[in-house]
Amino acid sequence: MASSLQPWVLLLILPLLSLVLSSAALAAVFNDNFVAVGGTDSNHLVDQGTSVHIVLDKSSGAGFSSKEAYGSGFFHMRIKTPPGYSAGVVTAFYLTTEPEQGDHDEVDLEFLGNVDGKPVILQTNIFLNGKGDREQRIELWFDPGADFHDYKILWNPYQLVVFIDDTPIRVLKNLAPGQFPARPFKIRASIWDGSGWATDFGKIKVDWNRAPFTTVFQDFDVDGCRATGGAPCGSPSLPWNGIQSLTPAQWDAYKDAKSKHTTYDYCTNKDRAYAQLPGECNNN
């Protein structure tokens, strides 16, 4: 049974399974599972079958959403952000409850563009009940605009883990009620103008003379449990629910990435007052 496999085996199998499934019906995958939202004209969201391009220019950004909400899963996208100068431009890949405002939950991966020669920052954040003050930032150790990389979010009843390729960069264990997302998520992606804050705290704005800015997404199959299907999304028969912890090698990779590339972590921000630090701060 899949649930009896070791976690490291499951982590290898799931991306390979996704690749097989997507290669079988790649041209129809986006339309099967996703729909354009915002910037829906052909100039801002371009579906090329094997990839989708979302475009930011002075008139509009763009985005897309999964048609279904999911109660657990191992969600992933292959992403290539705008190449070269991209200061002020934000590309987002995230999970969100609906409606996407007010008392909602959200798991964010936001790529914060930069000037030529400076690394792109990846900011992750977790919103619970509308409160999103759990930002962590890392400098990417590669150029995300030069080639595609895999960005993955494992979310099951035991933990939430964000991966870049196979490296964990954020780990939230389900240790206490109210400190872990439990409501169904939709999968979202977008590109937008973050001039007010994204690059050097908003000092560097989008240079519209360099527009348009384009982010490319691939792999639109979804390894997730549909929340509307009536199936128990916490079932141990679902392969991603068998991944209850990282392996020792993954913990080492996580700690190495955090120690070398972190530029901000809310856990160490002494200006913020927490009655009790969230449990993930013990991972550091």
Contact criterion met (CB below 8 Å) for 233 and 72: yes
Contact criterion met (CB below 8 Å) for 94 and 107: yes
Q: Is the peptide bond before 278 cis (omega within 30 degrees of 0)?
A: no
Closest CA to 207 of 75, 115, 139, 80: 115
Using DSSP's 3-state secondary structure scheme, residue 189 falls into: strand
First to last CA, the chain: 34
Q: Which residues pair with 128 in a beta bridge?
A: 131
Positions annotated as catalytic residues are 106, 110
> What is the number of other CB atoms lying within 10 angstroms of the CB of residue 176?
10
- Which amino acid makes up residue 126? I
For strand 62-66 and strand 262-265, is the pairing parallel, antiparallel, or unpaired? unpaired
DSSP for 126-153, please give it: EEBTTB----EEEE-SS-TTTS-EEEEE
Q: In sequence order, which ranges of the chain are alpha helices (DSSP H)?
A: 7-24, 26-33, 248-261
Structure tokens at 215: 């982010």
For strand 213-218 and strand 70-80, is the pairing parallel, antiparallel, or unpaired? antiparallel
What is the DSSP code (8-state) at residue 51? -
CA angle, 244 then 130 then 137, to 5°: 65
